[in-house]
Structure 1
Amino acid sequence: MTSQPGRGLLHLAAAVDLAGTLDAEPYLRLVRLAEHGALDFVTLHDTFAAAGPDSLSVLSRIAPATSRIGLVPTVTTTHTEPFHVQAAVATLDWVSRGRAGWRPDVSPGDDEAALVGRRQPPAPADLWHEAGEVADAARKLWDSWEDDAEIRDVATGRFVDRDKLHHVDFEGRTFSVRGPSIVPRPPQGNPVVVVDATRPYAYDVAARHADVALVGIADPGQLATVRAGLRRRAAEHGRDPDELRVLAALRIDLGGGERTARPGHGGGPLPTEEGPLYRGGPVDLADLITDWHRLGAADGFHLTPLDPRRDLERLVNGTVPLLQHRALFRTFYPGSTLREHLGLARPANQFAALAQESS
């Protein structure tokens, strides 16, 4: 994958949120549809305040019934235990055979704080600082097992090589974590971290910790500027900016079928309180994606259908084939893990790397 957008295959992802749906089967149908379109991953939103099943549980149920598409639940880092969060995400990566990601989010509402007996949540800036620390702790815990730590020697009764388990003693501003993890290192090494960088106070968390940053901006020129800024900030944190994918986040309404974009959209999305909204047909959307990608605005797109059942079908069967015909999007999955879909390397184990350097 090239680091310059517009000069390689773009990335496509979609939300599969279904308000008021308690059964896993409707989600499974949507995820299979997205997989049929060879999308990189799907996201499933979640909050403490929302009624319905836990997004991690839903996607863990869906994982064995799918084979290629990435699965990215929203996981709040507020009012949860970081040790349990990382273990649950690692388990999803094992269940999906290397297709897991997670989308850290915060819970700023008083109602959500009351659910766990807190008088009020901390300030948003503090919540996002905590989210970044949770992401940092998670990576350390995932690396607390080296890849070959499991030996499973029946003859001697030894399951694990203790020399390849590493102690983690993480002290954050609001929590501490001791390791090693209770789950072996995930198939991807580190499951993919997805952060909405347009959220207040989340920008620096995305630059420091995200593998994928979502940016909801209605103007492609401004989006390109934000992408460049995120890459620059990632480099300042000592990261390789080519290991960061920046996706344009758009809400889409394809309910009009094959027609031009709704008057007022000018061929593009309009800003709304919920984020940029695009209304038009599947062909119009393919043209917008093509133009933005060639302008270098983003590495791809994360699309949230207003009507998931209707709009995802039109996206997969209308927009995606046009992008494939234009040689902008894959026609099949060349790999099996989410990191492979995104063109991201499997990270080296930080503890094993330190041991090699000191030897």
Structure 2
Amino acid sequence: MTTVRISPAAALDIPALKDAVTALDADPTVERVILGDDHVTGQSAVVLAAWLAPQTTRIALVPEAPVPNTEPFHAATATATLDHLTAFTGPARAGWAPTVQTGEVGRRDAALVGLRPPAEPASAWEHAVDVDTAVSALWGSWDPDAEIRDTVTARFIDRDKVRYTETTGTDAAGETFTVKGPSIVPRSPQGDLTTVITVDGQESLSAASRIADVVVLRRGDGSVTVGEVLEKLGTPDRSDSASPDRYVPVLLEVDASGIVNSGVPELPEGVSGLAVEVDDLSTVRPLLDALASSTTGDTVAGHHR
């Protein structure tokens, strides 16, 4: 199967976005859609995913959540709510993709929303790891059977099955933060959602090795190679992984127009599948036609931690 990422600019065309995601949802070769969020275009990927949830029945919806511009508590409650929404029309299938802001784009981003300038990649990704830890703790702060809805005793929950949590981390500026729970959203159907990390440097690779359930290797300047990623995360047989009981699929980013024009590329050994970047929604249907004519787009589904 294949993952498709829709860029923030492409998602600005709301009617086209609906048509594109509906088409992707109907195609069984596409496993998940990542909704890009750069905090520059002005749209929230989490909100878009919530809007798309009741209009889809199968495909996993994975919104990006920029760190540090998203508070951990809000990220946890919004993504858990998204998981509940997806369960109304099919199996629960929400995920999340924490991202960081660095460089000039991040600086412009911070100015737009009134936050401090971005940090260096190393500290920004360490912040993302701490945020993921806090979010996971909040997701798990309700037991699956915490909701009892007992009309006789007028109790909605069994309070012994809702736990207090307190997670401490360090933000990208080096300041300590604390996130306290429990969550205000009941445990979602999946409980622990799939975390997708896009790797574009050694810093993001280090973070991915600790928190990712699925990794997308971004095409770029070659600062991280397929071999380095597989060495860090292990290959599908798990024998060479630092954590043999935890397999993290690696997806190779490719451009949709390249597949439409030249076909599906051959995957390097050890890579599980493709993450197709869509910058123009009009390419979605030709993309699906190209994928249908090839058998090399199959991937292995990501496993939860």
The alpha carbon displacement at 1:252 in A equals: 3.0
Equivalent residue number for residue 241 of structure 1 = 246
Q: Is the 2:259–2:290 Cα contact (8 Å) retained in structure 1?
A: no
Tell whether 2:38 aligns with 1:47: yes
Equivalent residue number for residue 184 of structure 1 = 186
Pick from 109, 119, 141: which aligns with 2:138? 141
Equivalent residue number for residue 303 of structure 1 = 276
Q: Which amino acid aligns with 1:241?
A: R
| 1:195-214 superposed matches below 5 A | 195-199=197-201, 201-214=203-216
Farther off after superposition, 179-188 or 115-124:
115-124
Distance 2:286 2:131 in 1: 37
Distance 1:18 1:187, change over 3 A: same
Distance 1:23 1:343, change over 3 A: closer
Q: TM-score when scaled to structure 2?
A: 0.85
Distance 1:190 1:119, change over 3 A: closer
Q: Is the 1:14–1:42 Cα contact (8 Å) retained in structure 2?
A: yes
Equivalent residue number for residue 128 of structure 1 = 125
Cα deviation digits, residues 252-311 of structure 1 (max 9, x gap): 31xxxxxxxxxxxxxxxxxxxxxxxx4663xx423x2xx32xx5241111001343312x
User: Alignment partner of 2:96: what SS?
Assistant: strand
Tell whether 2:93 aligns with 1:99: yes
| 1:192-341 superposed matches below 5 A | 192-199=194-201, 201-217=203-219, 222-231=225-234, 236=242, 240-242=245-247, 244-253=248-257, 278=258, 281=261, 284-286=262-264, 288=265, 291-292=266-267, 296-310=269-283, 312-323=284-295, 329=298
The alpha carbon displacement at 1:125 in A equals: 1.4
The alpha carbon displacement at 1:25 in A equals: 2.5
The alpha carbon displacement at 1:343 in A equals: 5.4
The alpha carbon displacement at 1:329 in A equals: 4.0
Identity across aligned pairs (percent)? 32
| 1:82-97 superposed matches below 5 A | 82-97=72-87
User: Alignment partner of 2:41: what SS?
Assistant: coil
Aligned-residue RMSD, C-alpha: 2.7
Distance 1:227 1:190 in 2: 24
Tell whether 2:61 aligns with 1:71: yes
Distance 1:169 1:124 in 2: 26
Q: Which amino acid aligns with 1:85?
A: A
Q: Is the 1:18–1:27 Cα contact (8 Å) retained in structure 2?
A: no
Equivalent residue number for residue 269 of structure 1 = none
Distance 2:272 2:10 in 1: 32
Distance 1:80 1:319 in 2: 35
Distance 1:89 1:299, change over 3 A: same
Q: Is the 1:37–1:320 Cα contact (8 Å) retained in structure 2?
A: no
Distance 1:226 1:80, change over 3 A: closer
Distance 1:280 1:163 in 2: 55
Q: Which amino acid aligns with 2:139?
A: W
Tell whether 2:114 aligns with 1:111: no
Distance 1:143 1:239 in 2: 24
Q: Is the 1:144–1:168 Cα contact (8 Å) retained in structure 2?
A: yes
The alpha carbon displacement at 1:241 in A equals: 3.0
Pick from 164, 168, 174: which aligns with 2:165? 168
Distance 1:23 1:198, change over 3 A: closer
Q: Is the 2:23–2:285 Cα contact (8 Å) retained in structure 1?
A: yes
User: Alignment partner of 2:164: what SS?
Assistant: coil
| 1:7-86 superposed matches below 5 A | 11-17=1-7, 19=9, 22=12, 24-38=14-28, 39-51=30-42, 53-86=43-76
Gaps of 5+ in 2: 172-176
Aligned residues: 287
Distance 1:78 1:28, change over 3 A: same
Distance 1:24 1:32 in 2: 12
Cα deviation digits, residues 56-106 of structure 1 (max 9, x gap): 111111100110001111101212211011110111111011111111011
Q: Is the 1:16–1:31 Cα contact (8 Å) retained in structure 2?
A: no
Q: Is the 2:7–2:279 Cα contact (8 Å) retained in structure 1?
A: no
The alpha carbon displacement at 1:251 in A equals: 1.6
Rg bigger for which structure?
Answer: 1
Q: TM-score when scaled to structure 1?
A: 0.73
User: Alignment partner of 2:196: what SS?
Assistant: strand
